[in-house]
């Protein structure tokens, strides 16, 4: 079978789930006839019709609010927010409503809504087509956050997300939407939510990454085999596969976390805290965070902003050289 | 902005995102800002400017200025919550603001008929307690008249107006759009016949205010000006890498000073490519 990219994998997962379960509906701006601005919903309206592939007015609060209502009434909506930078008009619906519905109804209601949204920079999109807002959603109890780095995981994780009963923010790394290719198995399969994957084994240090930056981290560790780095792709950000990470760090004694979002209060800070709580006596160096800067995402200077392979490699060499 | 006298070279430098850009290469092309011509900074987030426009108008009134705020939006933007919030505030506070909606029939692939069940966008103003007018947006004179009337009303304490200018998006929404996927090219051909520039030209010629010769001269002059400005703008370098950390705050905190040092200690990155 031909190698597929992430967009094709997402499209396939949606089609499979829509065929399997009539409750699954797709909705959002331009998802119908146009097939989505990134073409992730291409061909779905032709197969499933306008009741299940819904072109909405331009209003994110409306998209997510309506999706919550549909989910309470028994559907399984998979809304698309065109860019995660535009998720904020729906922030109230997500944080105050979607995330809390199960809890505040004493478990009577749940909102199985899977919000798909492209994240991250590297396409010259400036402030508003580039942000990585995962930490805001991980910080919100009740939400699960997924960010695959490749098409095989994207398809399996999206199917898993649609089949379970709690809300998911499904972040798609748009920088590698087409560039990350893989042999995607035909038909249905699932990748479990909450399991990280060791991409490369090593004993010298643990490098943790996800989404688009996984590829940068991979490039860096492959350029420097002497670091003997173990590279872990989180795949699911929350709930975090913390035991997998801790096992690795107990073995290597050193740990670096690569994150595209700004540093302060980013997810890397939480991962770092969790690891030091579990692996304090194994650590031979401070945990390194290699991140975007604490600035809005820039336009012209985006490659200076992003933690790309050369910057990662420099930081990993520093981590290796550290002596207490 | 150019109409208000903003020079062409820094305008083009914004599009290139280089060091000649007043906004320091921070935003995508056409997200302009210049205090020199009272153009506030653009956001890509649709509709967010509208409540801000109302606030600026309220401030102008509070300070006793004669300023009127012009707030622009598309047909798609009229679906956002911020649009309705802005309309409501504008009505309640009788703010000196004119909302100018360019209804070009499309929000990327979504036609206006799927954006709203109202008969027009202008009619929405009625519910918020102020006038809404719909004009032929391809008729420059009609647009001028409607906006002038709205400005005069706002300036004399009569409150806001929504002016809906009906036009058509002949081209694609962006370079990654493909309108043949979702619309009938017949419709486009119909609208091409109503090109606003053609309309204005034939009008001016009929009034004896404009000749083919004047047009040729103007075209040649503008072309030369634009080519010269592009050549000059292209010469400017990128903004310095450490400029990343400027303007996040008025006073740079320790965290940014530290990160600036960290950046400067790493090798310069390759230039980001222009988006496809
Ligand atoms: C809050 C928000 N949601 C989505 C987008 C993506 N987007 C950019 S332009 C556009 C359509 C805009 O349509 P309209 O308001 O009619 O303006 P036009 O481009 O037709 O002038 C969309 C959905 C955005 N920029 N901001
Ligand atoms: Mg429009």
Q: Last residue of some domain: A156, A183, A210?
A: A183
Tell me: do A169 and A95 sit in the same domain: yes
A312, A231 contact by CB (below 8 A): no
Q: Angle CA(A259)–CA(A265)–CA(A270) in degrees, nearest 5? A: 70
Which of A31, A86, A125 should be mutated for ligand 1, with most atoms under 8 A from CB?
A: A86
Q: What's the CATH code of the domain at A11? A: 3.40.50.970
pLDDT tops 50 at residue B82: yes
Q: Angle CA(A295)–CA(A260)–CA(A26) in degrees, nearest 5? A: 110
Residue A192 domain flag: no
Q: Which CATH class is domain B8-248?
A: alpha beta
Burial class of residue B238 in the structure, from the number of CB atoms within 10 Å of its CB (0-12 exposed, 13-18 middle, 19+ buried): middle
Say how far apart CA B179 and CA B171 lie, in whole Å.
8
State ipTM. Answer: 0.95
What is the per-residue pLDDT across A72-93, written as a single tens digit (0 to 9) for each? 999 999 999 999 999 999 999 9
Report the 10 Å Cβ neighbour count for A243: 10
**Mean model confidence pLDDT for chain B:** 96
Tell me: do A161 and A208 sit in the same domain: no
pLDDT tops 70 at residue B274: no
On chain B, the residues whose CB falls within 8 A of the CB of A127 are 26-28, 43-44
Helix (H) or strand (E) holding A55: strand A53-55
A1, A181 contact by CB (below 8 A): no
Please give the residue range of the domain that contains residue A111. 3-183
Domain boundaries, chain B: 8-248, 249-276
Quick check: B274 and A124 CB within 8 A?
Answer: yes
Q: Angle CA(A149)–CA(A151)–CA(A157) in degrees, nearest 5? A: 80
A182, A3 contact by CB (below 8 A): yes
pLDDT bucket at A324, cuts 50 / 70 / 90 = confident
- Number of folded domains that form chain A: 2
- Interface A:B, Cβ pairs < 8 A: 137
On chain A, the residues whose CB falls within 8 A of the CB of B43 are 127-128
Burial class of residue A208 in the structure, from the number of CB atoms within 10 Å of its CB (0-12 exposed, 13-18 middle, 19+ buried): buried
> Min CA distance, B193 vs chain A (Å)?
26
pLDDT tops 80 at residue A2: no
Tell me: do A38 and A96 sit in the same domain: yes
**Catalytic center residues of B:** 169, 173, 182
Interface of A with B in 47-86 (CB under 8 A): 55, 57-59, 61-62, 85-86
A79, A112 contact by CB (below 8 A): no
What is the per-residue pLDDT across A102-160, written as a single tens digit (0 to 9) for each? 999 999 999 999 999 999 999 999 999 999 999 999 999 999 999 999 999 999 999 99
Tell me: do A207 and A60 sit in the same domain: no
Tell me: do A201 and A156 sit in the same domain: no
Give the pLDDT mean for A163-184: 97
pLDDT tops 70 at residue B276: no
Tell me: do A167 and A309 sit in the same domain: no
Say how far apart CA A102 and CA A309 lie, in whole Å.
41
Q: Last residue of some domain: A183, A211, A228?
A: A183
In the 8-state DSSP scheme, what is residue B171? S
Confidence (pLDDT) at B271: 84
Tell me: do A206 and A173 sit in the same domain: no
Confidence (pLDDT) at A139: 98
Percent of chain A past pLDDT 90, that is, above it, reads 99
Smallest CA-to-CA distance from A157 within A19, A13, A15 is with A13
Q: What's the CATH code of the domain at A228? A: 3.40.50.920
On chain B, the residues whose CB falls within 8 A of the CB of A305 are 244
Residue with tokens 């307690």: B129
Q: Please count the helices (runs of H) and the strands (runs of E) in chain A.
A: 12, 14
Tell me: do A20 and A139 sit in the same domain: yes
Quick check: B109 and A55 CB within 8 A?
Answer: yes
Residue A190 domain flag: no
Residue A191 domain flag: no
Interface mutation vs chain A, best among B14, B16, B110, B258, most A CBs within 10 Å? B110
What is the per-residue pLDDT across B140-158, written as a single tens digit (0 to 9) for each? 999 999 999 999 999 999 9
Q: Last residue of some domain: A140, A161, A183?
A: A183
pLDDT tops 70 at residue A9: yes
Report the 10 Å Cβ neighbour count for A194: 17
Confidence (pLDDT) at B273: 73
Q: Is A58 in the pocket of ligand 1 (CB under 6 A)?
A: yes
pTM: 0.97
Interface of B with A in 130-169 (CB under 8 A): none
Tell me: do A140 and A235 sit in the same domain: no
| CA dihedral of residues B219, B223, B226, B232 (deg, nearest 10) | -150
Tell me: do A259 and A165 sit in the same domain: no
Measured in angstroms, how far is the CA atom of residue A121 from the centroid of ligand 2?
26
Quick check: A57 and B79 CB within 8 A?
Answer: yes
Tokens of B138: 């391809």
Give the pLDDT mean for B81-97: 98
Percent of chain A past pLDDT 70, that is, above it, reads 99
């Amino acid at each position: 079978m031909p190698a597929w990219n992430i967009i094709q994998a997402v499209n396939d997962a949606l089609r499979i789930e829509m065929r399997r379960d009539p409750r699954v509906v797709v909705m959002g701006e331009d998802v119908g006839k146009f097939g989505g601005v990134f073409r992730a919903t291409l061909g779905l309206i032709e197969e499933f019709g306008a009741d299940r592939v819904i072109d909405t007015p331009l209003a994110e609060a409306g998209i997510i609010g309506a999706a919550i209502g549909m989910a309470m009434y028994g559907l399984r909506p998979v809304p698309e927010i065109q860019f995660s930078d535009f998720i904020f008009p729906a922030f109230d619906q997500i944080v105050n409503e979607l995330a809390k519905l199960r809890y505040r109804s004493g478990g009577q209601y749940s909102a199985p809504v899977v919000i798909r949204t492209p994240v991250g920079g590297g396409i010259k999109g400036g402030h508003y087509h580039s942000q990585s807002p995962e930490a805001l959603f991980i910080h919100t109890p009740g939400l699960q956050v997924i960010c695959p780095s490749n098409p095989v995981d994207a398809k399996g994780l999206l199917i898993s997300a649609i089949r379970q009963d709690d809300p998911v923010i499904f972040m798609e790394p748009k920088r590698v939407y087409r560039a990350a290719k893989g042999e995607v198995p035909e038909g249905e399969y699932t990748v479990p939510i909450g399991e990280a994957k060791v991409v490369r084994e090593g004993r010298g240090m643990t490098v943790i990454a996800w989404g688009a930056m996984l590829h940068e981290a991979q490039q860096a560790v492959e350029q420097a085999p002497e670091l003997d780095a173990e590279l872990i792709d989180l795949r699911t950000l929350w709930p975090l596969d913390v035991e997998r990470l801790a096992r690795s760090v107990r073995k290597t004694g050193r740990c670096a976390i690569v994150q595209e979002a700004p540093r302060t209060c980013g997810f890397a800070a939480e991962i770092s805290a969790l690891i030091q709580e579990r692996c304090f006596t194994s650590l031979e160096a401070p945990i390194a965070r290699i991140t975007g800067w604490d600035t809005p995402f820039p336009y012209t200077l985006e490659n200076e902003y992003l933690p790309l392979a050369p910057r990662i490699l420099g930081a990993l060499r520093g981590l290796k050289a550290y002596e207490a | 902005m150019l109409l208000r006298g903003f020079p062409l070279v820094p305008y083009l430098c914004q599009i290139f995102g280089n060091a000649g850009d007043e906004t320091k290469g921070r935003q995508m092309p056409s997200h302009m800002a210049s205090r020199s011509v009272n153009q506030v900074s653009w956001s890509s987030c649709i509709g967010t400017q509208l409540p801000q426009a109302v606030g600026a108008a309220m401030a102008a009134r509070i300070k006793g200025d004669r300023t009127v705020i012009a707030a622009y939006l598309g047909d798609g933007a009229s679906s956002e919550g911020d649009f309705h919030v802005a309309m409501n505030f504008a009505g309640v506070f009788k703010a000196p603001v004119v909302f100018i909606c360019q209804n070009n029939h499309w929000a990327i692939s979504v036609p206006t008929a799927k954006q709203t069940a109202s008969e027009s966008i202008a009619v929405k103003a009625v519910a918020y307690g102020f006038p809404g007018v719909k004009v032929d947006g391809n008729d420059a004179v009609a647009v001028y008249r409607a906006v002038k009337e709205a400005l005069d009303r706002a300036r004399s304490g009569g409150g806001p107006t929504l002016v809906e200018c009906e036009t058509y998006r002949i081209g694609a929404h962006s370079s990654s759009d493909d309108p043949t996927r979702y619309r009938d090219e017949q419709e486009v051909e119909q609208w091409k016949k109503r090109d606003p520039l053609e309309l204005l030209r034939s009008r001016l010629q009929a009034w004896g205010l404009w000749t083919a010769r004047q047009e040729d001269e103007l075209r040649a002059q503008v072309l030369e000006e634009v080519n010269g400005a592009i050549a000059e703008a292209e010469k400017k370098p990128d903004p310095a890498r450490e400029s990343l950390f400027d303007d996040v705050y008025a006073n740079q905190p320790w965290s940014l000073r530290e990160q600036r040092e960290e950046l400067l200690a790493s090798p310069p990155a390759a230039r980001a490519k222009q988006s496809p």
